Chain A
Amino acid sequence: MSRVRDFELLVILAILRQPEEPYANRIREDLERNAKRRVTRGAFYRTLDRLQQKGMIRWELEPSRVPERGGHPMRRLHVTATGLAAARRQQEVLLRFLNALEPLTGENE
């Protein structure tokens, strides 16, 4: 079972949470805006490639509906069952550890 890195997990979750079609550009914008971190294009595209190699995501190229793209296709991303399972595993691990925050939160309150 392949390991999922932090950023890879964020990308999978970003794909899953998109209300509209999860195109690559939108995922990157979402990560930059909401994950509070700078996402360089190179790192982002490499992560997509890695996730695809691990079988956690797949993509398909769709004809562009945006005129500014100059006719270049859009990359629509999908999370595979493997990706979903990996994300769930990470969720369990994180929750297990995040539980430690609860008593502290109570103290602070």
Chain B
Amino acid sequence: MTSHPPPPSRPRRWLACAVSRHPAGSSILGDLLEDFYRVLRDHGPTRARWWYWREATTLAVGMWLERIFQPFQEPDRAQETHPVIEALSLKGFVSDARYAVRALRSDLGLVTFSTLIVGLGIGATTAVFSVMSPLLLKPLPFEEPDRLVWISNTGKGGRSAVTSRTSNLRDFRQRLSTMQDVAGYNAFFEQESYTLAGRGEPVRLAGVGVTHDFLDVLGIEPMLGRSFTEEEGRLWDDSSIILTHAAWRQTFGGDPALVGDVVTINGAPSTVIGILPPDFDFSSIFSPSSRVDLLTTFPVDDETDSWGNTVSMIGRLVPGSTIADARAELSVALENLKQEYPERWGLTAQMSPLREPISGGHQEPLLLLGAASAAIMLIVCANLTSLLLSKGIHRRKEMMLRTALGAPRGRLVRQMLIESVLLAACGALVGVGLAVLITRSVATSTAVAIPMLASVRVDGWALFFSCILATCAGIVFGVLPALQTSKAGPADEIRATSRSLTSSLRSRWLRECLVVAEIAIACILLVQGGLLMQSFLKVLDVDLGFEPDSLAAWSIDTEREFDSIQAHTAFFESITREVSSSPGVVAVGLTDAIPLGINREWSVDVPGREFAPGEQPNMFPISSIETTSRRWPYR
């Protein structure tokens, strides 16, 4: 016997533990061992081991369950199967399920109301947590996102205040040894316009200029084709472009042969060198509510540096480096640069994890929304509990009659269990539908500028937990009447019923507590909602600085090549004249940044001339903007 392999040790230990309190536990272990060697002789070691696993674990689980439910078993009913065990058995399941469905059909009011409140709770909670999840809970959709940092200017205000110069980007690349690489993109990319021609009707595309290593720093691999090379990154002619997955599908019909093809962008040939993967949506992450169809190169040279603060920088830390190390090195590098280039303005920088600028402004409102939806879910559970408890009072009479007629209490428990699960399932079904609808409409909405909104999908875990919560509330409070009835016994129940059919003191106390809790949570939500509404009304009352009524704005792009700046100006002035002559038009102006559109500062530099008040270009009189001061920050 010693030459034979022993039975698996793990199930053996479990079984030894399970039978430890049994007076004949040791003999049970011996029985199983004896049979194991018989199976080993007859069928070989593999089958014997499998057999032992099955037999030992089944027996151990059974013994544990028995030990757990033993205290609940009443001495005079010890010979009966415990109701929970009987409820879990499959005997008579179909007939119980049929009875449960019939019972629910007889009370359609309860079913409809429970389904609606549970569905609403699950739908709302899941939708809110699905929106929160990519922004606050899940890691950013980049390779090793913890190593990505955001380097920004230390100013406050518009985009010009937080972006930096390309000379700073170039120097940070050279001087920061804690950074594997530093990349950037043109934060004012909305200024650029790209018109695709030569493929039917001209199509206006939105593009963003990025440094050649931008995708490498983020760890994004193009789905098709390749990324920019260093040589391409120095070019100004948009001769190489990478299309986003959405633009490739919508504008080019998802043609895989497009990679390597030459298309006409702004009247010049551009080679499509790559297609971005579908899960990387530049605008959704870095510039919510704007659109990006293609990436083009943004050279880091003197020309872009002369534009001032235009670039947003993203760096990747060297493996093993921390952001504290990188911050320390950055401050040293800044000091050195200030000494070496005392004439260079804008030499400030700060570093933060990449998640901060992406989710920063939305973190608190989303957490508030999450708390509100969790409170709604609590109200839903309390409502469902109240409903089931009040229904349970009436059901106790039915339970009593069925017990008196000989129905085993396990069967009664199981029937109530099925009813509760069915109710929760109906609610979950409505909730899933609602969650999908809300999430889909939020993901495609352009009304709110929340990062990564486009990638929002119904969060499986949020849905699972909401459903489990509603199901548990349903099961616990749905089964309660059956357990109470069976525990008391039909005779006691009859006496109790004859005294009062309304409710027991305990269940009344429980329902009162639930109502109080519901009102308390509802009050919190009302106050929260009221405060939000007040903030919203205050936002509506904010003085915009211009009169938005009777204003219309549209964008004009032209592919036309102009010989001189005068010709360019004359073209736009002709448009202004024509529009001005239209009936009902009071004034016309031109701008490259409408108020509240892009928050940026730009200087107007006319050597030898200073504008007098009221002499500004036409934009201000149209918007009724009163200038309070004119500053010329740099020349």
Residues of A bordering B, CB below 8 Å: 2-3, 5, 24-25, 28, 40-42, 45-46, 48-50, 53-54, 59, 61, 64, 66-75
Contact = CB atoms under 8 A, between A and B. Distances in A.
Given A41-B55, A53-B78, A61-B24, A72 B62 contact: no
B55 to A, nearest CB: 6
- Lowest 4 CB-CB distances: which A-B pairs, in order? A72-B30, A42-B62, A69-B30, A75-B27
B26 interface: yes
Contact of A59 (B24, B38, B63, B78): B24
Contacts of A53: 78
Nearest to A54: B79
B37 interface: yes
Interface of B is mostly: helix
Contacts of B58: 40-42
Nearest to A59: B24
Contacts of B364: none
A71 B34 CA distance: 10
A46 B30 contact: no
Interface string B46-83: 00000000010011001100100000000000110000
Contacts of A5: 79
A41 B58 CA distance: 9
A61 B27 contact: yes
A68 B33 CA distance: 7
B35 interface: yes
Interface residues of B, number: 24
A46 B59 CA distance: 10
B34 A69 contact: yes
Contacts of A68: 1, 33-34, 36-38
Interface string B304-331: 0000000000000000000000000000
6 contacts: A41-B31, A42-B58, A45-B22, A69-B31, A72-B26, A75-B28
A105 to B, nearest CB: 32
Contacts of A69: 30-31, 33-34
B59 A41 contact: yes
B37 A74 contact: no
A66 B63 contact: no
B472 interface: no
Contact of B59 (A2, A42, A64): A42
Interface string B1-44: 10000000000000000000010101111111111111000000
Contact of A70 (B28, B33, B78): B33
Contacts of B38: 68
Given A42-B63, A61-B24, A3 B31 contact: no
Nearest to A64: B30
Nearest to B56: A41
A50 B30 contact: no
Contacts of B1: 67-68
A67 B30 CA distance: 10
B73 to A, nearest CB: 11
A68 B62 CA distance: 25
Given A41-B55, A42-B59, A42-B62, A3 B34 contact: no
Nearest to B31: A25
B31 A24 contact: yes
B408 to A, nearest CB: 14
Nearest to A2: B79
Contacts of A66: 34
Contacts of B31: 24-25, 28, 41, 69, 72, 75
B26 A73 contact: yes
A64 B24 CA distance: 13
B61 to A, nearest CB: 8
A24 B26 CA distance: 12
B558 to A, nearest CB: 84
Nearest to A76: B27
Q: Which of A5, A69, A75 is most buried by chain B, counting CB atoms within 10 A of its CB?
A: A69
Nearest to A42: B62
Given A41-B55, A45-B28, A72 B35 contact: no
A25 B24 contact: no
